[in-house]
Amino acid sequence: MQKIPAFVGAALLCLSLTHLHAQSADSVADKIVRFPTRLFSHICSRTSDIHRQVTQQTEKMLNGMAKKEARMESRLSRVDSAGAAD
């Protein structure tokens, strides 16, 4: 797992050095410092979207299961009212 962050850091360093001639050192350093913040905010945003989608799907499935349960309960009460009461 340690190889991936080291690789990303090395890639960022190489990219910043290749574009150094077109930008000042402050802006490159500022981009490198802001990179984790932007990455984490993007990850957080995407995670919250996925969480929202999963919650909606779960609620939809639970509502469907509740309807099926109610139908099964009504069918059972027609056949065996004592069994449905339990």
Question: Structurally, how many domains does the chain consist of?
Answer: 1
Alpha-carbon gap, residue 34 to 80, rounded angstroms: 67
CB-based contact 84:73 (threshold 8 Å)? yes
Q: Cβ neighbours of residue 20 under 8 Å, at least 6 residues apart?
A: 28
Q: What is the mean pLDDT of residues 51-69?
A: 98
Give the residue numbers spanning the domain of 23.
Answer: 3-85
pTM of the model: 0.51
Report CA-CA distances (Å) from 54 to 15, 41, 67, 80. 37, 20, 20, 38
pLDDT in tens, 10-28: 665 555 555 545 555 678 8
pLDDT digits (tens, 9 = 90+) for 63-84: 999 999 999 999 998 888 777 6
